A and B are shown apart, each in its own frame.
Chain A
Amino acid sequence: MLEIKNLSVEFHTDGGVVHAVRHVDLTMGEGEIRGLVGESGSGKSVTAMTILGLLGTRRARISSGQILVNGRNLLELSPAELAKVRGRQLGLVSQNALSALDPSFTIGSQLMEVIMWHRKLSRSEARKEALEALRTVSMPDPEHKLRAYQHQLSGGQRQRVVIAMALAARPQILLADEPTTALDATVQKQILDLLLQINQEFGTAILMVTHDFGVVAHMCHTVTVMRRGEVLEEGTAKHVLESPTHPYTQALIAAVPRLHAHDQAAAVPRAERRLHVFQEAAL
């Protein structure tokens, strides 16, 4: 479904060329939750943004590779075509939940705009859909929230709205770029569980960009570890967590607080089971 082949991204800086992503291969199947793990600077976020075509700097250059979504190479699309892929096939949940919503428009108006654009609905229909979307992400008091501005919501509620927006056009793949970093610890788990629930309910595949193997253990089926723009190792989450081959991966896993150890053991098999179900469904 999503297939990245030999992707390389360079940044042209005054100090020379920086190879942020080097010859990265990555595949994702239906309903798969893949962790993309690495420290900051490892190229994981750059990879995610490249998929969306949102690198957003003229110094960035994609020097090689293909990004195939359902067989179509995104790198060859026109900006208008790419805009249609965004939202309909790919969704983004970004890391800065606190600043990820337009402060000048109400939650409802933003959700409705996305819904109306993709699904060609009337205002009143879009309004119903927006309400439904907020219910899907378990937003408390959704009718009232439609008329609220982002500054009237808590961080966790804002991230729920972001997720609702990303899901508005029912994309097959959700790119979650460290979706919980800006949030309080208690809210983090709620958001991760919401993503899991969405994965189960709609079969949405999720590319989970994170530096935290605790997150991987909690929800990912498969994992790709990156360092300095390169893929170090990949495999099922269970396999990588239990027997990491690379010392760097071992260090990252060791960095997860012991508290999670219990979760790890419990979570892996569950994730495995789910993946199995989805892969069968995809056949």
Chain B
Amino acid sequence: MNTVVEVSSTPGQVSVDPRFGASSRKAKAGRRPSRLILGLRAFGRDKMAVAAAAVLIIVVAAAALAPVLSPYDPVVGDSARRLEGIGSEGHPLGLDGQGRDILSRLIWGARYSLTVAIVPVLAVLPIALLIGLFAGYVQGRVGGVLMRVLDVLFAFPLVLLAIALAAVLGAGLGNVMLAIGISLVPYMARVAYTSTVQESSREYVEAARAGGARTGEILLKELLPNVVSPLLVYATTLCGLMVVLAAGLSFLGVGIVPPTPDWGIMTADGSSVLLEGRAHVATIPGLAILVVALAFNLLGDGLRDALDPRKQTT
């Protein structure tokens, strides 16, 4: 009976450390499984999220095994057979405007497209966490100034900021990642900041403070674990958004430079032959971007639900 939740009682009325659900109070039917296991179980039941994770694993594996898997050289083409369509002999996904095998470019492209998108997100995660925790809990003058600076960066739409930075820094793998990373800081820091402020006013933090815990202890032991979850969920979703954006920068010519097989460059290649009536060159890489972005979004949704103690128990 430990899981009965009174229908009329609003969630959040009892302020328990959200890492443990409201029902962790005295379980009668044996010990409650750990939070990780509960989370995994909840995640496992979400068929969409599991499918998304599977898609991403396949894409990452393909990217890693590109030298083995790709049937042709991604940058050398056979100009005699240029623009042959899907299902042509030896080239299941056809050839592009320079006679290069699209499947091979797609597989190699996964390497660049994923790297450019995911590395900045992972790199900014700890920075954002630091800014958010500091500005959100310690506050003070430095925290205030930090948030003002972020406010200014918020005046630039993410896509615009990334394009402007990429344009200013110049094309190339490293510069694109830097441009995307800088553009991400305000967004990720705000998520960390908001949840820090929210969590700080919860009773378990007050209890720790009343119990004489030092600021550092509260930040690390109490706040960090509860702030990390929403940030991780957000980061997963951002990975999807960044795959789209990074490819977009390459599409505009301010990202990765040709002939590197990046999905954005492939789409741009396709746009120039679209008027010749060859749609497959642009269609295929765009679909790849869409599928990967959607997979990250679904994964993010699944993680959010799995990490939500309310959804774990009820």
Q: Determine if chain A interacts with chain B.
A: yes
Q: B306: shortest Cβ distance to chain A, in Å? A: 11
B3 within 8 A of A: yes
CB pair B8–A13 under 8 Å, yes or no, is no
Interface size on A, residues (CB 8 A): 26
Q: A135: shortest Cβ distance to chain B, in Å? A: 29
CB pair B8–A20 under 8 Å, yes or no, is no
Complex CA distance for A18 and B8, rounded to whole angstroms: 16
A235 within 8 A of B: no
Task: Determine the interface band of chain B, counting residues with CB < 8 A from chain A.
Answer: 10 to 19
The 22 sampled A-B contact pairs (Cβ below 8 Å) are A11-B3, A11-B4, A11-B5, A11-B314, A13-B313, A13-B314, A14-B41, A14-B313, A15-B313, A18-B4, A40-B6, A40-B9, A41-B4, A45-B7, A46-B7, A59-B314, A60-B7, A94-B8, A96-B10, A99-B10, A177-B8, A229-B4
User: 10 tightest A-B contacts by CB?
Assistant: A45-B8, A41-B4, A40-B6, A15-B3, A45-B6, A49-B7, A46-B7, A13-B314, A18-B4, A13-B3
Contact with A along B90-115 (1 / 0, CB 8 A): 00000000000000000000000000
B42 within 8 A of A: yes
| Sample of 18 further A-B pairs with CB below 8 A, known A40-B9, A56-B7 | A11-B3, A14-B42, A14-B312, A15-B3, A15-B313, A18-B1, A18-B3, A18-B4, A41-B5, A41-B6, A43-B4, A45-B6, A45-B8, A49-B8, A55-B7, A95-B8, A96-B10, A229-B4
CB pair B41–A46 under 8 Å, yes or no, is no
Nearest residue, chain B, Cβ from A59: B314
Give residues 1-56 of B contacting A (CB, 8 Å). 1, 3-10, 41-42, 45
A78 within 8 A of B: no
Across the interface, which residues of A come within 8 angstroms of B5, CB to CB?
Answer: 11, 41
Report if A14-B45 is in contact (Cβ < 8 Å); known contacts: A45-B8, A49-B8, A95-B8. Answer: yes
Give the one of A11, A15, A55 with max B CB within 10 A: A15
Q: A248: shortest Cβ distance to chain B, in Å? A: 14
Nearest residue, chain B, Cβ from A94: B8
Residues of B within 8 A of A (CB): 1, 3-10, 41-42, 45, 312-314
Complex CA distance for A129 and B41, rounded to whole angstroms: 55
Across the interface, which residues of B come within 8 angstroms of A41, CB to CB?
Answer: 1, 4-6
Q: A177: shortest Cβ distance to chain B, in Å? A: 6
Across the interface, which residues of A come within 8 angstroms of B7, CB to CB?
Answer: 45-46, 49, 55-57, 60
Q: A157: shortest Cβ distance to chain B, in Å? A: 21
Across the interface, which residues of B come within 8 angstroms of A49, CB to CB?
Answer: 7-8
A228 within 8 A of B: yes
Q: B311: shortest Cβ distance to chain A, in Å? A: 8
